[in-house]
């Protein structure tokens, strides 16, 4: 729904020039936020704002007063959400890459950068208030102000999840270990949704093994190198723990053939199998050895951690379904 033209007509003719730095800075910050891998928190923000990286990139192309007016007429809520998300991001460490780039590109000092951010935040705050007085209310909410509170709450949830994602441990996986970690994650997202097998359905229901939640770790392991340090957050430790347990249970049972995945996953090569210590006699033993080793590592480093205990109980419940 286009915004009324009356308040737009009252904007000064040099308003774009006043807002240029703010639009650029907030646009880059919003793009940094929305370019992050999909998590429940980022998905929620995208749902609330109807923004994604492509929309923000398009809005970042605004380069004149007339283009700004057109955007405010045709998609005012998108401009509002860009400024809102950009402003929230600039108050956190998530904006560090953006601020580093801006400081280098403009050749300014740390103090000048802080002054620029403060100026842009003040200007965007005032403009957000003006937009809230004049823009249509999103469907399903009583006011734009209440909608803003919901966005801020969702952003706070993202920050909490970001804090939880700080590294808590480091591995230097051997080639067969890295191979099985990748295999376990792919197996967890490849279990068919239409199967009647209770084990497969139960795995699909585990929060930590949801495909969207596993995508960032799958991508990380895809670029990881054997023998190189691999930092893991607590959620990632839980994901690997549960995925490896699932993989181990699947490989020691006949579930792969039952659900038609036996030919879909490569097993260890002879060289990788020989690299396991002690060298196992079969692929099943190799998988079991690696799963057992990771389980012992988790128990040694996190003996009383509540998230690990909860994950262990969920794994025990899975075992009862095989």
Mean pLDDT of 216-228: 91
pLDDT tens sequence across 42-99: 899 999 999 999 999 999 999 999 999 999 999 999 999 999 999 999 999 899 999 9
CA–CA gap between residue 64 and residue 62 (Å, rounded): 6
CA–CA gap between residue 309 and residue 322 (Å, rounded): 21
- Tell me what pLDDT residue 279 has: 44
Q: Nearest 5 degrees, angle CA 292-CA 297-CA 303?
A: 115
Burial of 273 (0-12, 13-18, 19+ CB in 10 A): buried
Number of other CB atoms surrounding residue 14 within 10 Å: 9
Percentage above 70 pLDDT, the chain: 88
- Tell me what pLDDT residue 68 has: 95
Identify the top-confidence range among 188-192, 211-215, 235-239.
235-239
- Tell me what pLDDT residue 280 has: 46
- Tell me what pLDDT residue 1 has: 37
Mean pLDDT of 177-185: 93
- Tell me what pLDDT residue 261 has: 54
Q: Is 113 helix (H, G, I), strand (E, B) or coil?
A: helix
pLDDT tens sequence across 127-178: 999 999 999 888 888 889 899 999 999 999 998 877 766 788 999 999 999 9
- Confidence (pTM): 0.57
pLDDT tens sequence across 230-286: 999 888 999 999 999 999 988 877 666 665 555 544 555 555 545 554 444 466 788
Q: Which of 195-199, 211-215, 238-242, 317-321 has the lowest mean pLDDT?
A: 195-199
- Tell me what pLDDT residue 207 has: 87
- Tell me what pLDDT residue 164 has: 67
**pLDDT-based confidence at residue 3 (cuts at 50, 70, 90):** very low
Q: How far is CA 297 from CA 85, 279, 289, 315, in A?
A: 40, 19, 12, 17
């Amino acid at each position: 729904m286009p915004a009324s033209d009356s308040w737009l007509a009252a904007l000064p003719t040099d308003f774009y020039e006043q807002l240029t730095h703010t639009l650029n800075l907030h646009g880059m910050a919003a793009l940094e936020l929305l370019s992050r891998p999909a998590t429940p928190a980022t998905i929620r923000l995208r749902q609330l704002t109807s923004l994604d990286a492509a929309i923000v990139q398009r809005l970042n192309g605004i380069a004149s007063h007339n283009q700004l007016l057109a955007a405010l007429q045709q998609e005012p809520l998108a401009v509002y959400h860009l400024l809102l998300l950009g402003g929230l991001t600039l108050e956190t460490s998530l904006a560090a890459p953006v601020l580093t780039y801006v400081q280098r590109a403009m050749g300014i000092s740390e103090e000048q950068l802080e002054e620029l951010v403060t100026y842009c935040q003040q200007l965007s705050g005032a403009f957000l208030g003006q937009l809230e007085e004049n823009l249509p209310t999103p469907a399903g909410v009583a006011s734009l102000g209440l909608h803003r509170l919901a966005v801020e709450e969702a952003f706070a949830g993202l920050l909490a999840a970001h804090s939880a994602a700080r590294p808590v441990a480091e591995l230097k996986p051997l080639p067969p270990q890295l191979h099985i970690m990748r295999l376990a994650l792919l197996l967890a997202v490849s279990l068919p949704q239409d199967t009647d097998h209770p084990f497969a359905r139960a795995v699909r229901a585990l929060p930590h093994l949801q495909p969207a939640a596993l995508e960032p770790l799958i991508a990380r392991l895809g670029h990881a190198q054997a023998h190189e340090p691999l930092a893991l957050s607590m959620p990632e430790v839980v994901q690997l723990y549960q995925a490896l347990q699932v993989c181990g249970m699947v490989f020691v049972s006949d579930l792969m053939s039952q659900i038609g995945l036996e030919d879909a996953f490569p097993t260890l090569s002879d060289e990788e199998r020989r690299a396991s210590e002690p060298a196992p006699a079969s692929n099943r033993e190799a998988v079991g050895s690696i799963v057992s080793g990771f389980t012992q590592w988790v128990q040694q480093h996190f003996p009383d951690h509540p998230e690990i205990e909860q994950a262990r109980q969920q794994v025990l419940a899975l075992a009862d379904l095989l």
